Amino acid sequence: MRFLGKSRRREPATEPRSGKRGGLTAVPRWAVITVLAAGTAASLVGVTMASALPGRDARVAARPHPAGPAARPGPAKAMPMHGQGGGRHRQRPLRTSCRSVAHIGDSTSVDLISAAYLPDPRTRLAARYAGVGVRHLRVDASSGRSIVEALPGQVSGYNVARAWRDAGYSGCWVFALGTNDTANVANGSAVGLMTRISELMSVAHGQPVMWVNTRTLVPGGPWSVANEQAWNAALALARYPNMRIFDWAAVAKAGWFLPDGIHYNTLGCAIRARAIADALARAFPADGQSRGRVVR
């Protein structure tokens, strides 16, 4: 990695958590999941849970959410394409050309595979990816993760991706990172936004990549709206022929967030999981090419 030793030792910003509503706490959580989906079926054939580090429990810690349980969505259906009306004709199911997907994320991805937040397995990230045609899925999500810095006992996003590639992974990549990267830069990290993007893109080595951009509702501080917008602007300036951007920032609604303004309630998690999978099918469709670098 081409990072200065001084910048690598900089303490990363501690991600605020709202496990107790009286104050913000840092709760590092890890979840790694490998999924095998059969054919085009949305049901899962096999699911294994393993820790990100040897000996560490990989179960996702339950967090109370104040919004109350959301109504469970029914079986997966194709969402209308962006810009299309809801006419009477049946929408064609969204399908992706990506048969293998490696998804690397932070705590906003941990919640998408959490039974505590999404008790119905059909609404979780693995089932949503399977529903658009993904057959092999690996997910590594960790609270507080960034591309460069790592909390104690944690693996950075870059190192997770590099380890998978070195082990022979070949397929599509989904990078749901950046929320903590822009916070770390705001806190003084010498590794800039574009350098972070280029380092992670170098691991993909020309394979299809979809970035999920970021949004918060925080008015100030490291995770402020302005800092997340700066990250999204850097993503938009990055030019790689194999890269697409899912503009989650344009989709996310305020009512889907927890009071901390960073993480999502049950409804938000359910919508986010489905939206990411559908965006992948638009970014890298099974038939033809995507219509642009940015998908919604």
pLDDT at position 17 is 47
Q: Does domain 13-57+93-295 have CATH number 3.40.50.300?
A: no
DSSP 264: B
Backbone dihedral region for residue 112 (phi beyond 0: left; psi -120 to 50: alpha; all else: beta): alpha
Mean pLDDT within 256-264? 98
Does 22 or 196 have the greater pLDDT score?
Answer: 196
- Flag whether pLDDT at 215 surpasses 60: yes
Assign 73 a pLDDT band (cuts: 50, 70, 90).
very low
pLDDT at position 291 is 80
Dihedral of the CA atoms 125, 293, 77, 124 (nearest 10)?
A: 10
pLDDT at position 55 is 28
Write the pLDDT tens digit of every residue in 123-135.
999 999 999 999 9
Bridge-based pairing state of the strands 209-212 and 172-176: parallel
pLDDT at position 76 is 38
Write the pLDDT tens digit of every residue in 224-245.
999 999 999 999 999 999 999 9
Of 137, 142, 141, the closest CA to residue 127 belongs to 137
Among 53-57, 164-168, 285-289, which is the least confidently predicted range? Answer: 53-57
Mean confidence (pLDDT) of the chain: 78
Angstrom distance (rounded) from CA 151 to CA 146: 9
Among 89-93, 251-255, 285-289, which is the least confidently predicted range? Answer: 89-93
- Flag whether pLDDT at 296 surpasses 70: yes
Distances (CA, A) of 206 to 97, 100, 178, 234: 15, 15, 20, 19
Does 82 or 147 have the greater pLDDT score?
Answer: 147
- Flag whether pLDDT at 65 surpasses 70: no
pLDDT at position 89 is 55
Dihedral of the CA atoms 196, 148, 181, 48 (nearest 10)?
A: 110
Angstrom distance (rounded) from CA 166 to CA 161: 9
Task: Say how many Å lie between the first and final Cα of the chain, rounded.
Answer: 32
Angstrom distance (rounded) from CA 39 to CA 240: 30
For residue 46, the SS3 value is: strand
Angstrom distance (rounded) from CA 273 to CA 78: 13
pLDDT at position 13 is 66
Sequence ranges of the domains in the chain: 13-57+93-295
Residue 31 CB-density burial (10 A; 0-12 exposed, 13-18 middle, 19+ buried): buried
Assign 176 a pLDDT band (cuts: 50, 70, 90).
very high
Does 15 or 221 have the greater pLDDT score?
Answer: 221
Bridge-based pairing state of the strands 172-176 and 243-246: unpaired
Does 77 or 217 have the greater pLDDT score?
Answer: 217
